[in-house]
Chain A
């Protein structure tokens, strides 16, 4: 089995859970003997030193021959105008945007439009595609550019070693998946890690939703990360339910787990952690409100909101307004060892997400023996039964349960113990087995 995989994030270049999930999944698939060619927007380094079964390719820097470029360009136009029905590729698009950041980005886009169009075909034998590979203001252009690179790679791979399945992760790569399917006739699996409705609630970006819908309808299998997302995909995108397969995410075990000590001066304090993007989807404001209520009852608690995002300034202001700034800390975006250390020092991890298709972070918290509280609106709640659960909007209940975990040591101990056991059954190897089964089905069905 050889898979052409399209993804937007891959470690060490991560913005969120998507890269972590792609990494864990591909490692497990590779262990099980699946060959994967993984296309990322741009690659820092050469991508060497990977598993023998897994090779990384960069979309940026892809050289496309003029004749090929024409074919792709024609298909591409048809795809975007007829099937996705997005006219303005240089629109104001940002993956995790809100109204506030929109105005700021407008300026950036205006400047950008003056630059030459990077994806048009110049009058040379060969063109080179360039992508930055982030979630910048010109994301939709990048997505289109990535799509062309993906198409070129598909043709190249088909002419070379060949492949059996196309697997595209999240909407940024769906156009690439659709083009590749059109050009090669290979079955397409789209993997829904999140939808526009999760990210933006009702204020969706219609262009992104259109890409998602087109991708899901074109796919042979729509793979989703939870039953929660399954019902969303069926209801909001009208995907036939029989096409949807649930594959829960997992967590990769760290081999060397360092021990972190809490400074003696802080021994009498308890720490409650929020870690993630500070955006609408993650429900940071509910954490802040719950923190205020807890602090009225239990002053000796510290709350940490680790992460960045467009709602961060509002959260800092709200903390000041509630006069809890000395107890609610904003250390910013964390990576690597800082993340591990943060988990290890916490007495409780809270994920109050408004709409979380899965949410790997709580599983990472469990790795550090930290008890976990989740919102019922998160997919990970389907696999982590030994976590406390609340409705994201019920800050009173959230606060009450935070107090309970910090006050009743047997509770935290029992949760940690049972979660640790449960985590043994939540593995990428199990997820990879489900994915392989889905591959086998589509390949078989396709002849």
Chain B
């Protein structure tokens, strides 16, 4: 009995305000509160609230047969609380149905796994605690920022006690193999791996309203037909996508909401098919093979690699400078400074600095508040310069106090 496994990524970064060189040393306020609030309210109105209501209705209508999973970044949870508490309540209502699984990720939606194992573990623990307190769930499944994945990540996640993790079913990794089965990461003994069926996922997330696409318009019936065609050649069709697909990337008038409202019925018309959350998939399906991914992959751009965040020297320079602050941040152990440092780690800041204009430039531009990657880098580096100055000053003060205490 093949399962359809939906996972939606919910994330908003804390966007930085326009922070000039002359603000360095003068202002500790980095966030564009107005823009963050405006965007949160806009996306809540266009996507989060209507889509949550739609999914809640589907769950009630199909009495437990329609099931989904979410991963909410720590930064989006913070912004719900600050700007749109009603959205948080609607997610809690979904979680309370018992048909919705919450996944874990890094608190700051960060690239910390690549640069600091210590910060990575801290952020995963923070996220875990937050999900438990908000939704009463202890996540069993992990997804890393932007589905960045390799063997080492799988090992780390297995050691942290999770049952499964998610990754991109990228062609260059899969080869002839199908993403529609449960795999075991190379070097792991217990943890399972679910892979995104990017063809079907992107039909919804990217191509849905594309008039040049030969399959346009995509109907729930047609999509269900494609899913049903996997019968016999797959056990779990994993549809992973940004939650903002609904109403924000694909606008309401494209019919995306009607599509999703109608989809469960068409999928379930074939009695062989059901919906499952990631934990339910791995509980019911056997591991069919081992997947060896020595190099990092992700779900971004055509390359499915790290170059969207770490493709040029500006990005590398910025992130190296950021993680160079780690020792002092940890030694200082100041809640405010640590929080700021984590929010600066959000992957979006580095995505804005991407200079890959040509093939994927359009998508990058859509998400970019800056005029150019250079502007993004300048702004980030100005903020980071100020943060470093403050960090150094606080750290020096702490050291001085410690020295005085010892002398006394």
Residues of A within 8 A of B (CB): 293, 297, 385-386, 388-389, 396-397, 399-401, 403-404, 407-408, 410-411, 413-415, 418
Cβ contacts under 8 Å, A404 to chain B: 21, 378, 381-382
Contacts of A388 in B (CB 8 A): 372, 374-375, 378
* A–B complex contacts, Cβ < 8 Å, 5 sampled: A293-B22, A389-B372, A401-B378, A404-B382, A411-B314
**B372 and A403 contact, CB distance less than 8 A:** no
Choose from A399, A400, A415 the contact partner of B374 (Cβ within 8 Å): A415
Given contacts A386-B372, A388-B372, 11 further A-B contacts (CB under 8 A): A297-B22, A386-B355, A386-B374, A388-B374, A389-B371, A397-B20, A404-B382, A410-B316, A411-B381, A413-B313, A414-B374
Chain A's interface: helix, strand, loop or mixed, by majority?
helix
Bitwise, B92-118 to A at CB < 8 A (1) or not (0) is 000000000000000000000000000
* Residue from the list A385, A386, A403, A414 in contact with B21, Cβ < 8 A: A403
Tell me if B357 is interfacial: C-beta within 8 Å of chain A: yes
Interface size counted on chain B using CB atoms at 8 A:
19
Q: Contacts A388-B374, A389-B372, A408-B377; is A414 near B22 (CB within 8 Å)?
A: no
Report yes or no: A410 in contact with B374, Cβ–Cβ below 8 A.
no
- B317 at interface (Cβ–Cβ under 8 A)? yes
Check B312 for interface membership: any CB of A closer than 8 A: yes
Give complex CA distance A399, B378 in Å: 12
Bound-complex Cα distance A396 to B374 (A): 17
**Contact status B20-A414, CB under 8 Å:** no
1/0 contact trace for B351-394 toward A, CB 8 Å? 00001010000000000000110110110011001000000000
Pick the contact of A411: B20, B371, B378, B385 (CB < 8 A). B378
- Nearest 4 CB-CB pairs, A to B? A400-B20, A403-B21, A410-B317, A400-B21
Which residues from A are CB-within-8-Å of B22? 293, 297, 396, 399-400, 403
Roughly how many angstroms separate A442 CA and B131 CA in the complex, as a whole number?
Answer: 69
Interface centre among B314, B357, B371, B378 (most CB of A within 10 A): B378
List of B residues within 8 angstroms of A386 by Cβ? 355, 372, 374
Minimum CB–CB distance from A259 to chain B (whole Å) comes to 24
Shortest distance in angstroms between B185's beta carbon and chain A's nearest beta carbon? Answer: 35
What residues on A are CB-neighbors of B20 within 8 Å?
Answer: 396-397, 400
Chain A positions within 8 Å of B371 at CB level: 389
Selected from B21, B316, B355, B357, the residue in CB contact (under 8 A) with A407 is B21
With a cutoff of 8 Å between Cβ atoms, the chain B residues found around residue A415 in the complex are: 374
Within the assembled complex, what's the spacing in Å between the Cα atoms of A418 and B375?
15
Q: Please, which residue of chain A has its CB at the minimum distance from the CB of B19?
A: A400
B372 CB to closest chain A CB (Å) equals 7
Residues in B neighbouring A396, C-beta threshold 8 A: 20, 22
Assembled-state Cα–Cα distance A400/B372 (Å): 16
With beta carbons under 8 angstroms apart, the residue of A297, A385, A408 that contacts B381 is A408
Query: A396-B22, A400-B22 are known contacts. Are A411 and B372 too (CB-CB below 8 A)?
Result: no
A399 with B21: in contact, given A388-B375, A408-B378, A411-B374 (CB under 8 Å)? yes
Shortest CB–CB separation between residue B169 and chain A, in angstroms? 32
A10 to chain B, nearest CB (A): 36
Contact B313 A414 (CB under 8 A): yes
